[in-house]
Structure 1
Amino acid sequence: MIARLVLTRLGWAVATVLLSVILVFSAVQSLPGDAATQILGQNATPEAVATLRAQLGLDRSPLARFGSWLGGALTGDFGTSLVSGQPVGPEVGRALLNTALLAGTTIVLGFTLALVLGLVAGLFRNRWPDSVISTVSLVGMSLPEFIVATLLVLLFSITIPIFPAVVVAGRDAGIGELLPSIALPALSLTIVAAAYIIRMMRTSVIDVLETDFVRTATLKGISPARLVGRHIIPSAILPTLNVLAMNIAWLIGGVVVVESIFNYPGMGTLMIQSVQSRDLPTILLIAVLSAVTYVVCNLLADIAAMLLNPRLRHPRRAR
């Protein structure tokens, strides 16, 4: 069953990645100007622009350029940056590692806290812990990322100067240079993403508490700690896995707003810079990585759900 799921998802993954790349390529093509005009500026002569376009290969038809890029991508060559003239792989790889550091910090600390808070809210339904946690999560869901990030900067960088307002380290900086500046971006992402996880976990816990097997286990005298650890958490976390997967993919794919506000040298910042300069090979590689991340995270969530719930592995028997 799991092998069939993986094979089916791999087929859909290829189609999803290809469709994403086509849409991104078409969107960039519809933007005014190209890399040549962005590099030379508005005061450049038409002859200079035409010469640079020929050097960059922009004088070819869009279909020919996309076919050439796709053929190279299938062999592992994702092209050369139209701005720097360097292969896009190493540059995007460094940005991906920086975003992975930020995402990993958010996942380990923020998502764990969100699951615990959602569990507590569900166990203490309609009591003061549930009211406090639900109110905070509702506020987090209502505020967009840029508002959360701005408020954190005002609070912890200006009013109480504990953390730096922006990241001053460049894309080539090591982990030691980025860690001192990662607190506010990670906290911003945690507040936004954790709110949805808390609400989903709370709902799942409440649904599990109302099932017959939990009531039966309670009547048999199972201790509350064992009931929560052995029965409630494994069952409640199943519906939450897809929400976790989507948030992880959202983080790894590059959180554009938060990274831009804090000048964090990750995938989101690189994507904005690449769109501004019309650096198409870099944009396409970021699109491929983002699509692959979404597909892989959702596949892992489905596999984890099947491993935790035997009924999903044998649907016919469950009937």
Structure 2
Amino acid sequence: MILQRIALGLFTLFAISLVVFLAVELLPGDLAEQILGQSATPETVAAFRAELGLNMPAHVRYLDWLVGIVQGDFGRSLANNREIAELISVRLGNTLFLACYAAAIAVPLSISLGLLAALLRGGIFDRVINIVTLSSVSFPEYFVAYILLLFLSVRMSMFPSIADFGSEASLLEMMYRTFLPALTLVLVVTAHMMRMTRTAIVNLLAQPYIEMARLKGASPARIIVRHALPNALAPIINVVALNLAYLITGVVIVEVVFVYPGLGQLMVDSVASRDIPVVQATCLVFAGVYILLNLVADILSIATNPRLLHGR
């Protein structure tokens, strides 16, 4: 099953690379003319097209691009002539830091709130938590980001509105400057993970072995922690992994709002400057990370489910 998931992930990544390349090919107008501007002479445009390889057939350019990516060569940026792999490595590290920062807050918070909501289901705490989390997930990310900026940065001056921490900042300085974008992501993903945890625990609490534990006099907390939670790990791990994938691939808007030097900001800047090779590379990296984390979610679901581990 794991080998099937890996093969499917590689095929999906290949299909996405084809879609990304074809999407660029279908853009209206000539790429060389758009980059050079209307004042460029036909000779300059022809020379630039030859330099970019645009005078070659599309399938040849795609195969050359794909072979280069497999070898770790994403090409060079049209904006600054730097290696795209170098640009992506730095920005991807910043995006991973922000995603891990948000996950370190969101995952334990979501599981704890889900456990408490299941333990106190139907009560005031359960209702309040459901209302708050559903309200936070109902708002778009940019709206949550601007609300946090308005209150925590503009009015209260507790955190900076720009999350760019430079290259020599300490860990505490990085955490302080990126707290608002991390909090935005936490508010967006907490509701989904919390409700999945609550639903999984509540469903298990109706099982006969849970009733037997109650009849033996086990406390509600012990029933959830010792009996219900281990059997609910598979769906919880799955939803956590999927939300981690979202934290990495869905940060584009948050990075733009807070001017955070991550991979999403790089992609937006490259679109604005018509740096098509960088746009293609960032889209492929986002897709690869998302597929990888989905693959990890599948593997962990298999590893925590005895019915899948043992066919009999």
| TM-score using structure 1 length | 0.90
Shift of 1:254: 5.0
1:10 corresponds to which letter in structure 2? I
1:112 corresponds to which letter in structure 2? P
State the secondary structure of the residue aligned to 1:13. helix
In structure 1, stretches of 5+ residues that fail to align are none
Taking the aligned partners of 2:69 and 2:137, their CA distance within structure 1 comes to 38
Shifted more, 291-300 versus 192-201: the winner is 291-300
2:215 corresponds to which letter in structure 1? L
2:195 corresponds to which letter in structure 1? R
Match of 1:275? Answer: 271
Taking the aligned partners of 2:233 and 2:74, their CA distance within structure 1 comes to 38
Taking the aligned partners of 1:158 and 1:169, their CA distance within structure 2 comes to 19
Taking the aligned partners of 1:86 and 1:312, their CA distance within structure 2 comes to 47
Superposition RMSD on alpha carbons, in Å?
Answer: 2.0
8 Å CA contact 1:16, 1:291 repeated in 2: no
Indicate whether 1:20 and 2:5 are aligned: no
Shift of 1:68: 0.8
Shift of 1:206: 1.1
8 Å CA contact 1:241, 1:305 repeated in 2: yes
Shift of 1:114: 1.2
Shift of 1:311: 2.1
8 Å CA contact 2:238, 2:300 repeated in 1: no
Q: Deviations over 1:246-298 (max 9, x none)?
A: 21112223511111111111111111122233333323332332222222222
Taking the aligned partners of 2:7 and 2:58, their CA distance within structure 1 comes to 26
Candidates 213, 216, 224, aligned match of 2:220: 224
8 Å CA contact 1:96, 1:252 repeated in 2: no
Taking the aligned partners of 2:31 and 2:78, their CA distance within structure 1 comes to 7
Q: Deviations over 1:112-164 (max 9, x none)?
A: 10111111112111101101100011101210101100111111111111111
State the secondary structure of the residue aligned to 1:264. coil
Shifted more, 125-134 versus 113-122: the winner is 113-122
Match of 1:120? Answer: 116
Q: 4+ residue stretches of structure 1 with deviation over 6 A?
A: none
Shift of 1:221: 2.0
Shift of 1:166: 1.6
Match of 2:133? Answer: 137
Shifted more, 242-251 versus 186-195: the winner is 242-251
Taking the aligned partners of 1:36 and 1:181, their CA distance within structure 2 comes to 39
Shift of 1:17: 0.5
Indicate whether 1:100 and 2:93 are aligned: no
Match of 1:304? Answer: 300
Distance 1:82 1:63, change over 3 A: farther
Taking the aligned partners of 2:93 and 2:231, their CA distance within structure 1 comes to 33
Taking the aligned partners of 1:27 and 1:279, their CA distance within structure 2 comes to 14
Indicate whether 1:89 and 2:70 are aligned: no
Taking the aligned partners of 1:34 and 1:186, their CA distance within structure 2 comes to 40
In structure 2, stretches of 5+ residues that fail to align are none
Candidates 40, 44, 59, aligned match of 1:44: 40
How many pairs align? 311
Taking the aligned partners of 1:103 and 1:77, their CA distance within structure 2 comes to 26
Distance 1:254 1:46, change over 3 A: farther
Shift of 1:70: 0.9
Match of 2:200? Answer: 204
Shift of 1:35: 5.2
Distance 1:262 1:126, change over 3 A: same
1:143 corresponds to which letter in structure 2? F
| TM-score using structure 2 length | 0.92
Match of 1:69? Answer: 65
Shifted more, 187-196 versus 221-230: the winner is 221-230
Percent identical:
42
Taking the aligned partners of 1:49 and 1:220, their CA distance within structure 2 comes to 82
